[in-house]
Amino acid sequence: MLIIKVMSGITGNTKLMDLLDEPVPGVGTYEDFNTIDWVREKSKDRDRHREITSKSKLSTPALLESISDAFSGWLLMLLIGLWSGALAGGIDILAHWLTDLKEGLCLSGFWYDHEHCCWGSNETTFQERDKCPEWQSWAELLGGSSVGASAYIVDYLMFIIWALLFAFLAVILVRAFAPYACGSGIPEIKTILSGFIIRGYLGKWTLIIKTVTLVLAVSSGLSLGKEGPLVHVACCCANILCHLFTKYRKNEAKRREKYAAAGVSYYFPLKTLWRSFFAALVAAFTLRSINPFGNSRLVLFYVEFHTPWHMVELVPFVLLGIFGGLWGAIFIRANIAWCRRRKNTCLGRYPVLEVLVVTGATALLSFPNSYTRMSGSELISELFNDCSLLDSSQLCGYITYSNTIPDRPAGPDVYTALWQLALALVFKMLITVVTFGMKVPSGLFIPSMAVGAIAGRLLGVGMEQLALNHHDSAIFKSWCSPGADCITPGLYAMVGAAACLGGVTRMTISLVVIMFELTGGLEYIVPLMAATMTSKWVADAFGREGIYEAHIRLNGYPFLEPKEEYGSKALAQDVMRPRRSDPPLAVLTQEGMSVGEVEAMVADTDYSGFPVVVCQESQRLVGFILRRDLVISLGACNARQRQEGVVSASLVFFTDHVPAQPTSGPPAVKLRGILDLSPFTVTDHTPMEITVDIFRKLGLRQSLVTHNGRLLGIITKKDVLKHMAQMANRDPDSILFN
Amino acid sequence: MLIIKVMSGITGNTKLMDLLDEPVPGVGTYEDFNTIDWVREKSKDRDRHREITSKSKLSTPALLESISDAFSGWLLMLLIGLWSGALAGGIDILAHWLTDLKEGLCLSGFWYDHEHCCWGSNETTFQERDKCPEWQSWAELLGGSSVGASAYIVDYLMFIIWALLFAFLAVILVRAFAPYACGSGIPEIKTILSGFIIRGYLGKWTLIIKTVTLVLAVSSGLSLGKEGPLVHVACCCANILCHLFTKYRKNEAKRREKYAAAGVSYYFPLKTLWRSFFAALVAAFTLRSINPFGNSRLVLFYVEFHTPWHMVELVPFVLLGIFGGLWGAIFIRANIAWCRRRKNTCLGRYPVLEVLVVTGATALLSFPNSYTRMSGSELISELFNDCSLLDSSQLCGYITYSNTIPDRPAGPDVYTALWQLALALVFKMLITVVTFGMKVPSGLFIPSMAVGAIAGRLLGVGMEQLALNHHDSAIFKSWCSPGADCITPGLYAMVGAAACLGGVTRMTISLVVIMFELTGGLEYIVPLMAATMTSKWVADAFGREGIYEAHIRLNGYPFLEPKEEYGSKALAQDVMRPRRSDPPLAVLTQEGMSVGEVEAMVADTDYSGFPVVVCQESQRLVGFILRRDLVISLGACNARQRQEGVVSASLVFFTDHVPAQPTSGPPAVKLRGILDLSPFTVTDHTPMEITVDIFRKLGLRQSLVTHNGRLLGIITKKDVLKHMAQMANRDPDSILFN
């Protein structure tokens, strides 16, 4: 609402206001890499809502508009759910096919993956479900034979070549079309949800390229998962669909609610929770009708264990928790050190080469070991599964004396499997550190869970054999009688996976919920809780940041941790600017300044906003004006109303009423419309801990500091973050954005 | 920190400050039925924490104290979990025993309930687990016969007599020893968690009486549950145990975190969530070792359905949702109307009579119908259960042609059961309205779920028979072939229960989580979500308040809804006091007022706090002082330092430095120590929607209102609530407390 008034008397006032009371385009928007003002966005939306409601009483079309406005949120969630569910299903199917393509081809149709190829075959027995004549390995296709050293080498080479091809395509596509499509996206989305703006991060190119390259990256066999990137994909869908509805297109806060509902439920009010419900419902439907897991259940790894656990087993569960915590802490440090090295040395200049080298190494090392050759989710699924009698897997190679399952000493197959698993564990731990952060889409859930599941299964089999051979010892006597199947190695794998995931991501309650959703095992809540809590404690002892927070910090994003405890006794006056040695705060006065003076002040400083005071002497605060709004308004007024006689000498007024002027002077510029009349203030004696709390809870961009009613200074979100970095002995200049 | 200074020169200043720098007892505490100041409580705790941390570097005992302080939170949660878990188990066992006592007695030991009595018997078959010679009904014990009309009448009479006895004991105990023990306690706990103080509500008498009377009330057969009161019991345990630790005894905010962890996770930061985790763990352990459900599972009604559901069934599920929403809306209106009637008419003067009449009517009407005679949780459990071949229950009286379960036409037993269920539905709906709110402990979960489960089962059996008789119709043809068991009436019962619970309590996401925990059925998330969401929509259309919010409003507690949308365009200046016609705001000046003047101002007004300004002319705000702190400090200074010469003419100073005085005058009183130097302020132009948001998110008690740096007025939580009541066309005077 920019109002330029040619003063010809007080009566002209209202008429001119009406004529010019149209918004200047751009006022109220934000620049890239800046933080939004939550309070302003929310009240903008409430104004819009009120306007529609009051109009709806006047006419039928307006009433219909109001109803469609109310339902647009639900419609949007429906569309987001459908679209992102369909994408997730499609990515899953494609990734399966491409992964199997590395090993061979289906003769009955090249578009079948290994499993579906053999489903259609008549010669498949239940025992060897994955062997059928229709599925031919590359050695069979190219050399005609499936046995012997040369066939093995052909398969090995084809495996590496396909992996390199997929990885090369992925990294090239990311670099050429959408640099934002790399990584997991979770750190950036957390920052965006907290109010930061990164233009294009959730755009259509990012969506297309991330979807395609995610399939390629997963298929290439790299040690990465697709859950994190799928959250990014869902947020892209949300963002693109938001542009169909005015309500969301024009409001940064409302749009973020949808991102959160689409991705993670985080930071938002109860209504959003209900809506994300709805999205989950629709996504579940879509997933169900596509049915990528082929078992008509909505859970990923459905497990059923047939023995309950015993209290004594909490000891190994806690040990798994400690392992998970240590691995989490070490992984975060190593990965961050590696990423920093990539950023600061010449390594960062050859991302394509880096991806190719890592993919080559991964393929080379993973092919000989069947546990690394299979995909991460297959591995986890195999490790979670309990052995039934019919199970042909190596891990179930127990010696069976009778036709009953219980009391099974491990056979040579199991020992081979254990060795292979131990090697796979070391390999996965090392390769994941260098993989996460490369310029391809990469998630962390599956690799972290795989590491934990391997460790858990190893410990589980160990415990099982220990119990078998020491039935009479004091520990096992009371609950594990000979012949009973008292220890479930699959449960250990599940607990280990949860512990490692908790150590790496530090997700709180949500982790156990996710584990439920992934496994459906509701009875094992106590083992899971014991392990994840231990893991969190151990990992927190080495540093409180999870991997996503560490990456946010590495990139210098302005993210105010909701959980970080603040221990300093500093007051607002110690953090605010100007400091004691600085020049005084740049303020505008509500009357008496000319357009030229204002323009000079804007040009001389780079602050993103200016307080407006009654006069320089009293420093009594009137309001706050954003630099961007001020520049746009003055610019527009220069361009549009030059003919109306606004010159540099024109006076700028922020007051309610412009005093009558001498008719000879140039016309005045009235800018009260873009002035924020309810700026946030704290007193200079407010402890910083309270100030930080206010910034967090209200999502502020800045707060003014007063003393006995006089304006003293200003604290921005960047100041708060810098101060907190200083308190934690980190480099305050690592905070890059405002 | 009250400091009284006898001015003998500036040098004496610091010495005297040190001497008198001890806290006056009572400063910083709150009166009954008042709201705490979250910001102050939190910074008090941070100060304490910092002090312990800084001391811990000096000596070993201090270090140990610091460690024990850090672990006291976990120890406390462990104790709360153990205690409340044990109480919950004990209540469950006792209630079972007393409930069975209404029907008969165990000859092998009067302390056995029906189930355990027959467990010990040798003559029990699996088919008729609840029939054994050791268990004798009252007719058998008193009359010697268990058949015939006279035996029935004896049983009937004994049933009513026991019920009346239990209910009488419960209501008498509540009235005599702990009036706060009645009701569910959830509305009050919600209010307490939001910062309100009700002394004794979580005290030891409430705990003892609530535990005892809960057993009696449940056993009396009234239509009430024990889940809500158990939350109250857990909060009482938390409160009592908090008094063992200084950290929690002295801090209202920290204590509330524990209540929340003990009861519901609500309103609190992530750390608390982790701790409530821990409490759940320990409570689960305790429950597990007591094992009241006798089936080694941690879930209450374990269900396993053997058929998946079909998309078409969403139609009846949504119908159940509509039923749940309508029932919720009607129940809330009817119950509130009845409670208001009880409050305002002579009905409220005879609570004992009321309880006896309702109990008598309940017993009289419920005995003849087996579905109302059994306890609410047994009923729900029976309705949730799917019929297996061996099931002897009436509801499973299908006509079986062959020895397979599927394709079962309902037999006469099923039709009888349906009629009884329909009567039970009407009875439960009516009696629950008058039961909830009586002066005995009473929860709503079980009765609400029972209503929904009955409705669901009825619809489920109806659908089943419909499908059976119309296999060829277009609706069923594609998915329900003859001979297949395609509809699970138990699932309908579960969905109905969730819908009714949702309609009554309006619990959001937590409801579905609770349903999972109660049933372990993770695969039925979509039916549950569809029904609960429909139920919420339908119920919200008739009024947005859940039953707990309605009761909070009925009692006039100051509770700021986290979800209520605020639609008005009012500004802070429209809500603040003083209004335009009122006398000006009562303020203290930072210097120049005498003790007598301050005391006169305190005596003339009843405000709970006073702003302190630089001087009356400028109205520039210095800080805020609470009435209670001011009264206590002036009182203490009168009592203790009279000898030092403080008289009514002594000047009161809130400034940092007291100016040098003539030695002849009386000594000055310095009160800066109890002055809050960082009061919250908003400008007069701040929209009320933002102000309400600030009050909610920061837990404020009051905020001062300024204009251009001048103090204009004050807004308290009560003002905000009154304003919101006015906006919603409710009586603003229904807000009773501050």
Which residues lie below 8 Å from residue A537, measured CB to CB, with a gap of 6+?
A325
- Rounded to a whole number, what is the distance in Å from the CA of B161 to chain A's nearest CA? 41
Decide if A685 and B678 are in contact by the 8 Å CB cutoff: yes
Give the nearest partner residue to A621 out of B269, B697, B708, using CB atoms. B708
Per-residue pLDDT, A22: 52
**Considering Cα of A725, then A726, then A729, then A735, what sign does the dihedral take?**
positive
In a domain, B93, yes or no: yes
Which residues lie below 8 Å from residue A688, measured CB to CB, with a gap of 6+?
A566, A568, A570, A571, A572, A574, A575, A720, A723
The reply to whether B198 and B144 lie within a common domain is yes
Strand-strand pairing, B702-707 and B710-716: antiparallel
Total residues belonging to chain B: 738
Q: Would you say A722 and A716 are in contact if contact means Cβ atoms under 8 Å apart?
A: no
The reply to whether A661 and A710 lie within a common domain is yes
- Count of alpha carbons within 13 Å of B546, Cβ hemisphere only? 22
pLDDT tens per residue, range A135-159: 888 888 887 777 788 889 999 999 9
Mean local confidence (pLDDT), B455-464: 92
In a domain, B50, yes or no: no
Per-residue pLDDT, B297: 41
The reply to whether B507 and B624 lie within a common domain is no
Q: Would you say B302 and B519 are in contact if contact means Cβ atoms under 8 Å apart?
A: yes
What domain range is A199 assigned to? 74-290
CB proximity B689 to A under 8 Å: yes
Cβ density class A370-382: b for 16+ within 10 Å, e for less: bbbbbbbbebbbb
In a domain, B297, yes or no: no
CB proximity A50 to B under 8 Å: yes
Give the nearest partner residue to A710 out of B572, B677, B709, using CB atoms. B709
Name the domain count of chain A: 3
Residues of chain B contacting A505 with CB distance shorter than 8 Å: none
Return the structure tokens found at B501: 């619970």
pLDDT above 70: percentage of residues in chain A: 79
Q: Give the residue carrying structure tokens 């405002």.
A: A738
In a domain, B45, yes or no: no
Residue A508 pLDDT greater than 80, yes or no: no
The Cα A317–Cα A314 span in angstroms is 5
The Cα B427–Cα B365 span in angstroms is 8
φ, ψ of residue A669 to 5 degrees: the values are -110, 130
Q: Would you say B727 and B568 are in contact if contact means Cβ atoms under 8 Å apart?
A: yes
Strand-strand pairing, A588-589 and A609-613: parallel
The Cα A561–Cα A498 span in angstroms is 23
Q: Which of A509, A574, A676 to mutate to test the interface with B (most CBs of B within 10 A)?
A: A509
For chain B positions 257-286, those within 8 Å of chain A (CB to CB) are 269-271, 273-274, 277-278, 280-281, 284-285
In a domain, B40, yes or no: no
- Count of alpha carbons within 13 Å of A524, Cβ hemisphere only? 31
Which residues lie below 8 Å from residue A622, measured CB to CB, with a gap of 6+?
A590, A612, A613, A614, A654, A675, A677, B708
The reply to whether B549 and B597 lie within a common domain is no
Mean local confidence (pLDDT), A331-353: 91
The reply to whether A597 and A459 lie within a common domain is no
CA distances B458 to B430, B462, B500, Å, are: 18, 6, 14
φ, ψ of residue A433 to 5 degrees: the values are -60, -40
For chain A positions 423-452, those within 8 Å of chain B (CB to CB) are none
Strand-pairing partners, residue A652, are A593, A669
The Cα B77–Cα A615 span in angstroms is 56
Maximum Cα interatomic distance, chain B, rounded to a whole number of Å: 111
The reply to whether B571 and B550 lie within a common domain is no
pLDDT tens per residue, range B118-146: 776 666 555 555 677 888 888 888 877 77
Q: Where are the alpha helices (DSSP H) in B521-657?
A: 525-541, 547-555, 572-575, 595-604, 627-641
Give the nearest partner residue to A698 out of B517, B529, B697, using CB atoms. B697
Q: Which strands make up the sheet holding B702-707, listed edge to edge?
A: B681-683, B702-707, B710-716
Alpha-carbon dihedral angle through residues B523, B529, B531, B533, given to the nearest 10 degrees: 180
Q: Which strands make up the sheet holding A3-5, listed edge to edge?
A: A3-5, A668-670, A651-653, A593-594
Residue B555 pLDDT greater than 90, yes or no: no
Which residues lie below 8 Å from residue A54, measured CB to CB, with a gap of 6+?
none
Q: What is the CATH number of the domain that holds A404?
A: 1.10.3080.10
Q: Give the residue carrying structure tokens 């008198």.
A: B20
Strand-pairing partners, residue A711, are A706
Residue B651 pLDDT greater than 90, yes or no: no
Q: Would you say A224 and A446 are in contact if contact means Cβ atoms under 8 Å apart?
A: yes
Pairwise pLDDT comparison (B18 vs A207), residue with the higher score: A207
In a domain, B67, yes or no: no
Read off the pLDDT band of A336 (50, 70, 90).
Answer: very high
Which of A255, A290, A325 terminates a domain? The answer is A290
How many Å is the Cα radius of gyration of chain B?
31
Residues of chain A contacting B687 with CB distance shorter than 8 Å: 43, 46, 678
Decide if A274 and B678 are in contact by the 8 Å CB cutoff: no
The reply to whether B510 and B571 lie within a common domain is no
The Cα B720–Cα B699 span in angstroms is 12
Other CB atoms closer than 10 Å to residue B53's CB: what's the count? 14
Other CB atoms closer than 10 Å to residue B699's CB: what's the count? 22
Give the nearest partner residue to A509 out of B277, B682, B689, using CB atoms. B277
Per-residue pLDDT, B736: 72
The reply to whether B278 and B339 lie within a common domain is no
ipTM of the complex: 0.74
- Rounded to a whole number, what is the distance in Å from the CA of A679 to chain B's nearest CA? 8
The Cα A446–Cα A459 span in angstroms is 20
Residue A170 pLDDT greater than 90, yes or no: yes
Per mean pLDDT, which range of A209-223, A598-612, B315-329 is the poorest?
A598-612
Decide if A622 and B708 are in contact by the 8 Å CB cutoff: yes
Q: Would you say A229 and A244 are in contact if contact means Cβ atoms under 8 Å apart?
A: no
pLDDT above 90: percentage of residues in chain B: 23
Q: Which of A45, A524, A536, A693 to mutate to test the interface with B (most CBs of B within 10 A)?
A: A693
pLDDT above 70: percentage of residues in chain B: 79
pLDDT tens per residue, range A54-110: 888 888 888 888 888 878 887 887 788 778 878 888 888 899 899 999 988 888 888
pLDDT tens per residue, range A365-397: 999 998 999 888 888 878 877 665 445 667 777
CA distances B423 to B359, B394, B473, Å, are: 18, 16, 31
Per-residue pLDDT, B307: 54
Decide if A274 and B42 are in contact by the 8 Å CB cutoff: no
Q: Would you say A222 and A442 are in contact if contact means Cβ atoms under 8 Å apart?
A: yes
pLDDT above 90: percentage of residues in chain A: 23
In a domain, B38, yes or no: no
C-alpha triplet B332, B334, B340: angle, nearest 5°: 95
CA distances A41 to A47, A163, A699, Å, are: 10, 47, 11
The Cα B431–Cα B348 span in angstroms is 18
CA distances A433 to A215, A220, A222, A332, A496, Å, are: 21, 17, 12, 8, 19
DSSP H or E stretch at residue B420: helix B412-435
Q: Where are the alpha helices (DSSP H) in B120-223?
A: 138-143, 149-177, 186-193, 204-219
Q: Which of A302, A518, A532, A686 to mutate to test the interface with B (most CBs of B within 10 A)?
A: A686
The Cα A649–Cα B181 span in angstroms is 75
DSSP labels, B97-136: HHHHHTTEEETT-TT--HHHHHHS-SS--STTTT--TTEE
Pairwise pLDDT comparison (A639 vs B384), residue with the higher score: B384
DSSP helix, strand, coil percent of chain A (3-state; round to 5): 60, 10, 35
pLDDT tens per residue, range A532-563: 888 988 998 888 888 988 998 888 888 887 76
The reply to whether B547 and B591 lie within a common domain is no
Q: How far apart are the first and last CA of chain B?
A: 26
Q: What is the CATH number of the domain that holds A655?
A: 3.10.580.20
Which of B554, B588, B605 terminates a domain? The answer is B554
Residue A19 pLDDT greater than 80, yes or no: no
Read off the pLDDT band of B108 (50, 70, 90).
Answer: confident
Q: Which of B693, B695, B704 to mutate to test the interface with A (most CBs of A within 10 A)?
A: B693
CB proximity B299 to A under 8 Å: yes
CB proximity B708 to A under 8 Å: yes
> At residue A202, what is the residue type?
L
The Cα A361–Cα A376 span in angstroms is 17
Strand-strand pairing, B593-594 and B651-653: antiparallel
Return the structure tokens found at B463: 């659908």
Residues of chain B contacting A530 with CB distance shorter than 8 Å: 281
Residue A283 pLDDT greater than 60, yes or no: no
Per-residue pLDDT, B358: 95
Return the structure tokens found at B343: 């409050």
Residue A454 pLDDT greater than 90, yes or no: yes
Per-residue pLDDT, B22: 52
Decide if A285 and B618 are in contact by the 8 Å CB cutoff: no
The reply to whether B376 and B525 lie within a common domain is yes
Pairwise pLDDT comparison (A429 vs A635), residue with the higher score: A429
For chain A positions 94-153, those within 8 Å of chain B (CB to CB) are none
Cis upstream peptide for A578 (omega within 30°): yes
Per mean pLDDT, which range of A131-135, B272-276, B405-409 is the poorest?
B272-276
Which of A555, A583, A611 terminates a domain? The answer is A555
DSSP H or E stretch at residue A685: none
Residue A189 pLDDT greater than 80, yes or no: yes
The reply to whether A320 and A409 lie within a common domain is yes
The reply to whether A276 and A356 lie within a common domain is no
Residues of chain B contacting A682 with CB distance shorter than 8 Å: 678
The SS3 call for residue A225 is strand
Total residues belonging to chain A: 738
Mean local confidence (pLDDT), A655-680: 77
For chain A positions 509-568, those within 8 Å of chain B (CB to CB) are 509, 516-517, 520, 522-523, 525-526, 529-530, 533, 536, 562-563, 567
The Cα A272–Cα A248 span in angstroms is 14
Decide if B284 and A618 are in contact by the 8 Å CB cutoff: no
- Rounded to a whole number, what is the distance in Å from the CA of A117 to chain B's nearest CA? 27
**Considering Cα of B551, then B554, then B555, then B556, what sign does the dihedral take?**
positive
In a domain, A268, yes or no: yes
- Rounded to a whole number, what is the distance in Å from the CA of A623 to chain B's nearest CA? 8
Q: Which strands make up the sheet holding A710-716, listed edge to edge?
A: A681-683, A702-707, A710-716
The Cα A31–Cα A8 span in angstroms is 38
